[in-house]
Amino acid sequence: MTTQGWDDDDAILREVATALREVEHVAGPVRAAGEAAYTWRGIDEELELASLAYDSLLDVGPAVRATAVDGGRTLLFTGPSASVQVEHDSGMVVGQLIPPGPGRLTVEGGDGYRAEWEVDEVGCFSFRPPAAEPVRLRVRADSVELVTDWISF
């Protein structure tokens, strides 16, 4: 019962074959994306990693869901000593660095996009993200140096 036909050698092999065959047509590009991803490793070893801690698009609470779809999208990245909150709406991203402080923001795309923006004295910044390209935010400010998780807007 628990293995549901997986006790039989031929049956389990057939099912593995089916599972593999069903993804065959997308396996090539998925693998290619993976092979290219490693080149981004280690570049930011000296920077703090701010991990994605909240994404309003993924908030599945029934009450929040509707607003997440209708309104802007809110994201929170947190690291050991700092965090970044951003809002994405109408093609623009507006964000704030906490603790606040002036500095530079580099928006880095997985396909090579790169742009620099100013972070003002209260830690605020805004930019228009590239379409169809995951990005990460690299912040060098008075108080902190961090890089966020990769995210697609």
Partner 1 sequence: MDETFSVTEVVAAAEDGDEAAWQDIVGRYTPLVASVAQGFRLGRPDVDDVAQTVWLRLVEHLGELKEPRALPRWIITTTRNECIRLFKASKRTRSFDPIAERSACDDAAAGVQPLLIGAHPEDPDEHLIRAARHQALLAALAELPPHQRDLILLLMEDPPLTYQTISERLDIPIGSIGPTRARALQRLRECPEIAEWGNPAAETSTKGGQGYDHTGLGR
Per-residue mark of binding to partner 1, 103-132 (x: CB under 8 A):
-------x---------------------x
DSSP code at position 142? S
Residue 55 contacts partner 1 per CB under 8 A: yes
Strand partners, 50: 148
Check the CA dihedral 107-108-112-116 and report its sign.
positive
Residue 152 contacts partner 1 per CB under 8 A: yes
- CA distance to 36, 56, 153, per residue, from 32 (Å): 6, 30, 22
State the residues that interact with partner 1 by CB under 8 A.
Answer: 1-4, 6-7, 9, 12-13, 15-23, 26-27, 29-31, 33-38, 40-42, 49, 51-55, 57-60, 65, 68-70, 73, 110, 132, 134, 136, 149-153
